[in-house]
Amino acid sequence: MLKKTGLFLLLAIGFFSSKAQQTIPFRITKYHTIIVKTMVNKKDSLDLMFQIAMKDASISPDRQHKADHIIFNKEEISDENTVDIGKLSLKNIRFTDNQLAGHEADGKIGTVLFAGKSFKIDYDNNQFVMYDKLPDVKGYQPIPVLYNNGAFYIVADNIIDGDRQQEAYFALQSGYSGGILYSNDFAEEKELDKKLKITGEKTLKNSQGQRIITKQGILPFFKLENFVFKDLPVGFFAGELKTQNVSYFGADMLRRFIWIFDADRKTAYIKPSIYYSEPYEQLK
């Protein structure tokens, strides 16, 4: 009997350890960005915005809380920092100084949170979940992911004119509060300024007097695998400066799904979140 009991316990321990997990709570701002409360180097309490398009961490010049215990060199780099989030403790975290982080954030932190692990972004329960092995993904839609230089890229179809689908790569960009933002090349090649119904426009000038024009139009259909969004507001740049080299899948779109990424960063699994049918973010 004791042998059977011991065998059962070993099997049970093996089963649960294969699904071992840790959770990191977060809050979602009104700008759809994710804020994680951290303790850096055991002394600096900082609200860091999660940025899926970066690996390490950074501090903003516009921070609201002090970061006196992060020591930067002359290249504005600081290595060997500790970051504590609840019961999770991370070591040897690199911070870069003077990087803007957006509203309500003292800085940013990236996917160093999940190094070597599968992870979930659970917008329904306001938490990240990390797994030693891929969890049960029944009910999720798998989508291919390209992971390059610390950023995730997905492919989606854009129906701009009639029923013709235009395929494009999008970088997942949790720091951009809007939804879809097209690269300059895509906007010009597909003539978005002419083919989309334009609903908004903003003009800015840089210090050299060059114009930066942001436009918002209505895309008839946007298709991500089996998920289709109709009459989706999308943004793109016009004017003299051509600075947007990558198309973004921003925070307003990210929050519409629960995401699970495999440890190899080759596949994501998605299903609708509680925000799936929320009104779209409009051009401000």
Is the model's pLDDT at 242 over the cut of 90? Answer: no
Q: Say yes or no: 107 and 170 in one domain.
A: no
Element of type H or E holding 36: strand 34-40
Q: What is the mean pLDDT of residues 81-105?
A: 93
Integer Cα distance of 234 and 244 in angstroms = 14
Is the model's pLDDT at 84 over the cut of 50? Answer: yes
Residue range(s) defining the domain that contains residue 104? 21-65+72-115
Q: Say yes or no: 219 and 166 in one domain.
A: yes
- pLDDT band with cut points at 50, 70 and 90 for residue 81: very high
Q: Say yes or no: 97 and 37 in one domain.
A: yes
- pLDDT tens for 24-72 read 999 999 999 999 999 999 999 999 999 999 999 999 999 999 999 999 9
Q: Say yes or no: 152 and 266 in one domain.
A: yes
User: Letter for the amino acid at 170?
Assistant: F
Question: What CATH number is given to the structural domain containing 204?
Answer: 2.40.70.10
Contact present, 231 and 222 (Cβ < 8 Å): no
Residue 274: how many CB atoms within 10 A of its CB? 12
At 21, phi and psi to the nearest 5? Answer: -145, 160
Tokens at residue 190, please? Answer: 């597909």
Q: Please provide the DSSP assignment of 144-161 as one string.
A: E-EEETTEEEEEEEEE-S
Q: What is the mean pLDDT of residues 215-230?
A: 95
pLDDT score recorded for residue 17: 40
Is the model's pLDDT at 219 over the cut of 50? Answer: yes
Number of domains making up the chain = 2
Q: Which among 48, 52, 1 has a CA at the least distance from the CA of 9?
A: 1
Q: What is the pTM of this model?
A: 0.88
Q: Say yes or no: 145 and 108 in one domain.
A: no
Question: Does the residue 51 lie in any domain?
Answer: yes
- No. of helices (H) and no. of strands (E), the chain: 4, 21
pLDDT score recorded for residue 243: 78
Q: Say yes or no: 102 and 145 in one domain.
A: no
